[in-house]
Each structure stands twice: as C-alpha cells, then as structure tokens.
Chains A and B, each alone.
Chain A
Amino acid sequence: QKEVEQDPGPLSVPEGAIVSLNCTYSNSAFQYFMWYRQYSRKGPELLMYTYSSGNKEDGRFTAQVDKSSKYISLFIRDSQPSDSATYLCAKERYNTDKLIFGTGTRLQVFP
C-alpha cells in the first residue's frame, strides 16, 4: 500500500464551482501535510501546509486533516480557470527530510 494515495482524476468543473481534492495516507509516522500545485511544465509550488486536525484557510483555499480516518482534503471555492493544474498532496515522514507525494489530481476549470 502506498503511503499517500490520491485519485488522479482528471477532474473537470465549471468556473465558480467548489472543488474538493482528497488524499488518504497509511503511515501515521508523519509531521505535516502539504498541498502543492503544479502547472504544466513547471515545478510544484506550495499552496498550504497543516499539522493538526481541523481546517486551515487561506483565501479561496481550505485544507482539512482528519487524523482519525487518515484523510486530508483541499477545498477550492469559486474556482477559476487559472486554478487548472495538478494538485499534489504530500506528507513529511517523521524526523526526516523526506516528503512523500501522492500521485496528483489533474484539475480543469472551464469558463
């Protein structure tokens, strides 16, 4: 079983929709969870990171962690065509410099 599992999509939504992106993880030896966004032919860029269970909000983005069910989510409100990208969840393996990525979900927001 992979440490971080993510539905690869693609996910296609109309502009203005609320998007929900999800990951599950299997190893509890973690510290932080992160969401990266990667545009085509670019490097990943960090969107948000969170440690504790609950929600963390930043503008149109909300990250949610449920440690009891080992489930992490990213919600995008009022989605825009510029949000079209691949979204990678990642977790930091405890006490290491290793960042383990999920497979990424490709999102397309159409006008």
Chain B
Amino acid sequence: DTEVTQTPKHLVMGMTNKKSLKCEQHMGHRAMYWYKQKAKKPPELMFVYSYEKLSINESVPSRFSPECPNSSLLNLHLHALQPEDSALYLCASSHISQGANVLTFGAGSRLTVL
C-alpha cells in the first residue's frame, strides 16, 4: 500500500457544526502532516506529527484540532469554522529517502463552510 487515504472527499458544513477529516497511511511513515490549500495557491502547512507527537503547529486557530491516535491515523477535528476556512485540506506522510524527507500526499478533502 503506497497511498495516503483521506475521507471524506467532500464535506459541506455550517458554522455551528462539528466534523472531522480523517487520514490513513500504512507505509510505516514516521511523520504525518495537515496542509490547507486555497484555490490557485500553494499548500500551506498547518500541523506536523512526528512519531505520533505534535511537533509543528503553524499558529493555526483553535477551531482546528489535530489528533494522531496511532502511527497510521491522523484526524483533523473542525468546530465553529468560518466561510474563509473553505479549502482543500491535504494530508501527507513522509519518509527519509537518500537523506531527503519525501512527502506523499493524499487526494485531499474539499471543505465548504456555509
């Protein structure tokens, strides 16, 4: 299995809803990431988990709450989001290849906040 699987592919939620995005990889990768990507913009790093511990939080608002239950799973809990949070949310995992930290991305979860 060489994939990062994200669910759901599409999510529409109201500003008062609570929802979660899920990410799974079975490649034994040590680190997992959440990125946010707006239309025609590059991915922006949100969080990094390394060996199941949160290692980087890019000053993301608390309405986004990451969770890493085990080395294969990564969740992003969403609560009280704003319309401007509508974006493609990308999960990635990484491994070291010839010294380089190589990221494998999932297809993304497209979020629309009404």
Contact = CB atoms under 8 A, between A and B. Distances in A.
A103 B103 contact: no
Contacts of B66: none
Contact of A99 (B40, B41, B103): B103
A61 B10 CA distance: 33
Interface size class of B (residues with CB under 8 A): 20 to 34
Contacts, number: 62
A101 B43 contact: yes
B42 interface: yes
Interface string B70-114: 000000000000000000101010100101111111111010000
Nearest to B48: A97
A102 to B, nearest CB: 6
Given A92-B100, A97-B50, A97-B55, A43 B42 contact: no
Contacts of A32: 99-101
9 contacts: A31-B99, A43-B108, A44-B105, A45-B105, A46-B102, A49-B102, A92-B100, A101-B42, A103-B42
